Structure 1
Amino acid sequence: MAEVKLGGQAAAELSEAAQGELMEQCEEQFAQLEKLQNEMILCEPECCENPQEQAVNRLMATEAELKQWLTVEPELLISNSEVLLQAGKEEMLKLCSELEMVVSCHEAKRDKLRETKELEQKWLEEKKQALIAANDHVERLQTEKGKLSEQSILQDTKAKIQKMKVYHERLMEALGDVLEKHVPPPQNESAANRKKKNITQELHKDLISLNEILELLMNKVLNTPHDPYVTVDDTFWPPYTEMLLRYGIAVRHQGNNFKIRLETFC
């Protein structure tokens, strides 16, 4: 059943005749609705013992009524053109308000998309500039690479090797100075100790310095990395060997205590 709703302002704009006709039509519809309601109450079946069966019957009745209403064409409750025009105006105003809300939402969404588009365009421009700079750098490197000859590469390599040799010699000299200052060779004992230990003095003549021991260990590791162990003979002063082992600079061979190697430093 269609329903006509008019607000106070809309009803005030109607003529008395139109208002009377509208009120009369509403009273007739309400009377018909009350009549149908009373008939439904009288036709209400008594409560059966099986609630499930009653629910199924109600569902079937509702489906039948729905099919019937689908076949009925809607009719206007009133044919007064003045009432219909006023109702149409009210519906149009409501529709316009809804459309304004839709337009407002779409404008906000459009502004958001426009902002996102500007950010994306800015990001794209930055990426293009970065790509151009990278391409220029690659071209410059390729040009420089083409200009370099084998002779210049060889000279550069030789210069680097010479620098490494000089740096290595400086490191070895610095190591020798440190060892000479803080770890003097066994021959540099005091005169009193030499007088008390004549036999030891004779043995010390063939001993090598700590610098030489470290050099032997390093050369062994570099020259024969598969066999980095050095045999400890009479030229190795025992305190030197014990100091290297105690401070983790060298380690003994697991199967031969007379062999040591330089510790692997990571």
Structure 2
Amino acid sequence: MVEEGAEGEVVAHLSKAAQSELLELCEEQFAEIEKLLNEIILCEADSCENPQEQSVNRLIATDAELKQWSSTEPSLLASNSEILLQAGKDEMLKLCSELEMVVSCCEAKRDKLRETKELEQKWLEEKKQVLLAASDHIERLRLEREKLSEHNIILDTKAKIQKIKVYQEKLLETLGDVLETHIPLPKKESSASKRKKSITHEITEDLISLSEILEVLMNKVINTPHDPYVTLDHTFWPPYVEMLLRYGIAVRHQENNLKIRLETFF
């Protein structure tokens, strides 16, 4: 209905002579179209039943028609300038309408891109603020780390070492008390026999306690881990040594029976 209305408008703007000439051109075109339609119908009725051969024939006919149209020189729609002018105006109006639609689409796309750009800029600003906050935090941590001087680090390390030493001494004292209570050194016993007295005196003289033996073994392992063996002498009471060896607390040297070391507990 819109197209018919536009054609009616075009005809209404033309003079009577131009209108009659345009109607004659339209009748000639309609007659030519009817003729072509009749020829197409007749050709389809006489077409072969083989679809492949029919397709080849249509391809050949289309190729021939294309060559014919390529060699044909274009001609004017009509010789009347009034008709040509009106047709040009109609085409221009149609083109302007299409261009307006293109402009409208471009503007919508531009608005969408502008909205996307604003969102991206907002996101970028937020990321910049996060980066700035992280940079400030890193700088503050760096300044705090620089404030911790080497002297403070050494003092802290010394304090920790001192705590460990105090704890070690406390453990050693506790161990010594337990060993002294449950495994004391042999004491002198009064006897009328002089021989017994001399033997007892011989046994108990210059002997060290079990806790002292353990302390000697531990200090040897800590101070000289490459040579942890301790040489036995008269101060080591043999029953204590035998007890340490029997319960797996100490180990005897493989080549020298007078040397023992603390067992590696791991």
TM-score by length of 1: 0.51
In 2, Cα distance between equivalents of 1:101 and 1:157: 80
Which protein has the larger Cα radius of gyration, Structure 1 or Structure 2? 2
Q: How far 1:139 sits from its partner (Å)?
A: 1.5
Q: Secondary structure at the match of 1:7?
A: helix
Which residue of structure 1 aligns with residue 14 of structure 2? 14
What SS is found at the alignment partner of 1:77? coil
Query: Could you list the runs of 5+ residues in structure 1 that have no partner in the other structure?
Result: 164-266
Alignment correspondent of 1:25: 25
Aligned-partner Cα distance in 1 for 2:10–2:139: 79
How has the CA–CA distance of structure 1 residues 67 and 162 changed in structure 2, closer, same or farther, with 3 Å as cutoff? farther
Change (3 A) 1:130 1:65: same
- What is the distance in 1 between the residues matched to 2:136 and 2:147? 17
1:6–1:87 Cα contact (<8 Å) kept: no
TM-score by length of 2: 0.51
Paired amino acid for 2:148: L
Gaps of 5+ in 2: 164-266
Aligned pairs (5 A) from 1:92-103: 92-103=92-103
CA distance 1:39–1:115, change in 2 (3 Å): closer
Q: Partners in 2 of 1:107 and 1:119 — Cα distance?
A: 18
For 1:135, the equivalent position in structure 2 comes to: 135
Compare 48-57 and 62-71 and name the one that shifted more: 48-57
Alpha carbons 1:48, 1:54 under 8 Å: kept: yes
- Tell me the CA shift for residue 21 of structure 1: 0.9
Contact kept, 8 Å, 1:14 with 1:82, in 2: the verdict is: yes
SS at match of 2:118: helix
Query: CA, structure 1 residues 144+71, in 2 after alignment: closer, same or farther (shift >3 Å)?
Result: same
Q: Does 1:67 align with 2:67?
A: yes
Give yes or no for contact 2:18–2:83 (8 Å, CA) kept in 1: yes
What is the number of equivalent residue pairs in this alignment? 160
CA–CA separation in structure 1 for the residues paired with 2:74 and 2:46: 33
Secondary structure of 1:73's aligned partner: coil
Instruction: Please list, as runs of the form range in 1=range in 2, the aligned pairs for 1:97-246 lying within 5 A after superposition.
Output: 97-153=97-153
- Root-mean-square deviation (CA, aligned residues, Å) is 3.1
Residues 124 and 158 (structure 1), Cα distance of their counterparts in 2 relative to 1, 3 Å cut: farther
Distance 1:160 1:90 in 2: 98
Change (3 A) 1:53 1:112: closer
Output one character per residue of 1:226-256: Cα deviation in whole Å (capped at 9) or x when no partner. xxxxxxxxxxxxxxxxxxxxxxxxxxxxxxx
Aligned twin of 2:219? none
